[in-house]
Amino acid sequence: MTDIHTGSGSAMERLRALGLDLPTLAVDPHYVDHRAVDSSIHISGQLPYKDGVLLGQGIVGRDVDLETARELARHAVLNCLAAAVQAVGELERVRIVQMLVFVASAPDFGLQSRVANAASELLIDVLGENGRHARTAIGVAGLPANTPVEIQMICTGV
């Protein structure tokens, strides 16, 4: 039995206990989803795609509410995890070093860190201590495909 609150079970079991699975990432001819440099793995910015469909569009604080933005951040970080697994082979081997969360937001929104917290919480729930990371959350005027959230990360294999 997996208990996501105590961190027991494998990372994949904890992910599935949350009702989630790693997505398959679409191939893009213009960039790769990850690139290893020495022991660091740089994950390309990931959008909240699920099964090839962008799950939301708009500006947070204007067109998109906080809870929707948080859910989109969870989907984007799942895509980051999928890229990390491509790089290291299995979820158990992923250790997050740094995460950069971009939030397309209204100038007076100011809650970018609350959007990013949803992604951080998911990483810690799934990876335990390997999910703890340095982080930056910033508001931007716009993102590709008019998505509200994009996440980029750096990780290592353990």
pLDDT band, residue 7 (cuts 50/70/90): low
Give the mean pLDDT of 46-59: 96
Flag whether 69 is in a domain: yes
Is the confidence at residue 18, as pLDDT, over 70?
yes
Tell me the average pLDDT of the chain. 94
Flag whether 17 is in a domain: yes
Q: Give the separation between CA 16 and CA 9, rounded to whole angstroms.
A: 11
Flag whether 2 is in a domain: no
Please report which residue ranges of 2-158 form alpha helices under DSSP H. 11-17, 66-88, 112-127
Residues 103, 60 contacting (CB under 8 angstroms): yes
Q: Quote the number of domains for the chain.
A: 1
Q: What is the pLDDT of residue 3?
A: 45
Q: State the CATH number of the domain containing residue 52.
A: 3.30.1330.40
- The 10s digit of each residue's pLDDT in 53-74 is 999 999 999 999 999 999 999 9
Give the mean pLDDT of 91-97: 97
Flag whether 4 is in a domain: no
Q: Which two tokens stand for residue 129?
A: 């201590």
Q: Give the separation between CA 20 and CA 75, rounded to whole angstroms.
A: 10
Q: What is the pLDDT of residue 8?
A: 73
Flag whether 119 is in a domain: yes
Is the confidence at residue 6, as pLDDT, over 80?
no
Flag whether 15 is in a domain: yes
Domain ranges, residue 125: 11-25+32-157
With CA atoms as reference, report the closest residue to 126 among 2, 1, 25. 2
Is the confidence at residue 2, as pLDDT, over 50?
no
Residues 7, 128 contacting (CB under 8 angstroms): yes
Give the mean pLDDT of 125-144: 98
Cα torsion 40, 41, 42, 46: sign: negative
